Amino acid sequence: MINFKELASEYKTPLYVYDLDYMTAQYNELKEAFKGRKSILAYAVKANSNLSVVKHFGDLGSGADCVSIGEVRRAFLAGIPSYKIIFSGVGKSDDEIREAIQKDILYINVESEAELKRVNLIAKELKAKCRISIRVNPNIDPKTHPYISTGLHDNKFGVDIESAKRMYIFANNSENLDPVGIHFHIGSQLTELTPIRESAEIVADMLRSLSNIKIDLKFFDIGGGLGIKYNDETTIKPYDYAQAILGTLTALDITVICEPGRFLTANAGYFVTKVLYEKQNGDKKFVVVDGAMNDLLRPSLYNAYHRIEAITQSTKDERKVDIVGPVCESGDFLAKNYLLPELEHNDLLVVHSAGAYGFGMGSNYNTRGRSAEVAVKDGQARLIRKRESFEDLIALEKDYLI
């Protein structure tokens, strides 16, 4: 049990707290599900990119799936070996591509024909041979929130099967490209197995047809997306997930790469915020807290549900309240119509499932410093990121005052 009261008094609020032991358990369960096959779990760094968190997964043997060169650099700093680092994303700059090639990572995940040509040109300039994978868009509806759905043609991600085939042939004929993988990632917070299985089938068929024209790939990259329980969702069991994927790969000698993000970190994380006051506008009751959309954006951005636990002495009846932060936006809320008892100044609210897409989506809007981050491992709490100060916020401006 994490003692949030103690942590809040030591590190102040708003505060992110991560249970590293929970992350370990999630990692091991998923890794175990793929046993009997060569597999790499490449942690999706964007879910929670704190260096200590990335290092924690690296220590467990994880690779890293990165969507910017900044994330690639984090993965290196965290000690993840180059041969387990993947660079994905729809828009990579020339500088990013160049650095990824020079760092000799496992592969660059290419998301368009134009990008493949850029990678080819840059690899040629560097007199290098760049390992690539192509992100295929299987045009399957993942049945998740439209903002986190990526596997349909009207999403910006990946290329259709026909273009992918042309691209593999181009890459195979280039002296500077080495096609080693095929990739798909149809969305996030997936709770249904069928779209995953159907996508894997489409992509596995593609793998076989490439093999028929002597393009033999080594990596079958299934992306991430495994959903978690925020509320009452029924989730996919890692074992069933792995079986569904592996069932499409019979008789193929291939390494499976999985890029979990949310599954590993979401329910390991808590966002702790303090009650400032309550207020009433007409019929509406508000609880104003010191945490806001600049700390945890998911409720504002996706109308996402997070379970919220009150740490209070209050024994009053629960009533429906909106939990709102100090930021000057009506969209600044952590929850709406949420049942909580009457709260006192300095009571704590613990927002659950905040370990993925929490801190990382934070900003300095309203000149608010980002929260501190604390990791708990074997019952020991340690600061893994200092709270941002006002000085930090103006550091890049103050010498440029006009």
Q: Supply the minimum distance, in Å, between the C-beta of residue 118 and ligand PLP.
A: 19
Instruction: Give the ranges where 266-345 is alpha helix by DSSP (H).
Output: 298-302
Write out the binding residues for ligand PLP, residues 352-381 only, by CB under 6 A.
356
Cis (ω within 30 of 0) for the bond into 326? no
Note whether 254 and 204 are within 8 A (CB).
Answer: no
Write out the binding residues for ligand PLP, residues 186-225 only, by CB under 6 A.
188, 223-225
Write out the binding residues for ligand PLP, residues 110-149 only, by CB under 6 A.
none
Q: Supply the minimum distance, in Å, between the C-beta of residue 56 and ligand PLP.
A: 16
Q: Supply the minimum distance, in Å, between the C-beta of residue 249 and ligand PLP.
A: 19
* Closest to 68 in 3D by CA, of 45, 50, 84: 45
Does residue 45 interact with ligand PLP by CB under 6 A? no
The CA distance from 318 to 296, in Å, is: 24
Does residue 48 interact with ligand PLP by CB under 6 A? no
Task: Give catalytic status of residue 328 as yes or no.
Answer: yes
Note whether 366 and 326 are within 8 A (CB).
Answer: yes
Based on CB atoms, which residue is closest to ligand PLP, 185 or 274?
A: 185
**161-193 burial string, b = 16+ CB within 10 Å, else e?**
bebbbebbeebeebebbbbbbbbbbbbbbbbee
Q: Which stretch binds ligand PLP (CB under 6 A): 229-237, 257-265, 274-282, 346-354?
A: 257-265
Among 14, 55, 63, 65, the residue binding ligand PLP under the rule CB under 6 A is 65
Length of the chain: 402
Q: Which stretch binds ligand PLP (CB under 6 A): 117-125, 168-176, 253-261, 371-379?
A: 253-261
Measured between its terminal Cα atoms, the distance across the chain in Å is: 51
Q: Supply the minimum distance, in Å, between the C-beta of residue 84 and ligand PLP.
A: 14
Residues near 127 by beta carbon (within 8 Å), at least 6 away in sequence: none
Q: Residue 110 belongs to what H/E stretch?
A: strand 107-110
Based on CB atoms, which residue is closest to ligand PLP, 147 or 239?
A: 147
- Catalytic residue numbers read 328
Query: Using CB under 6 A as the criterion, which residues of the chain lie in contact with ligand PLP when the complex forms?
Result: 44, 46-47, 65, 67, 88, 185, 188, 223-226, 259-263, 356
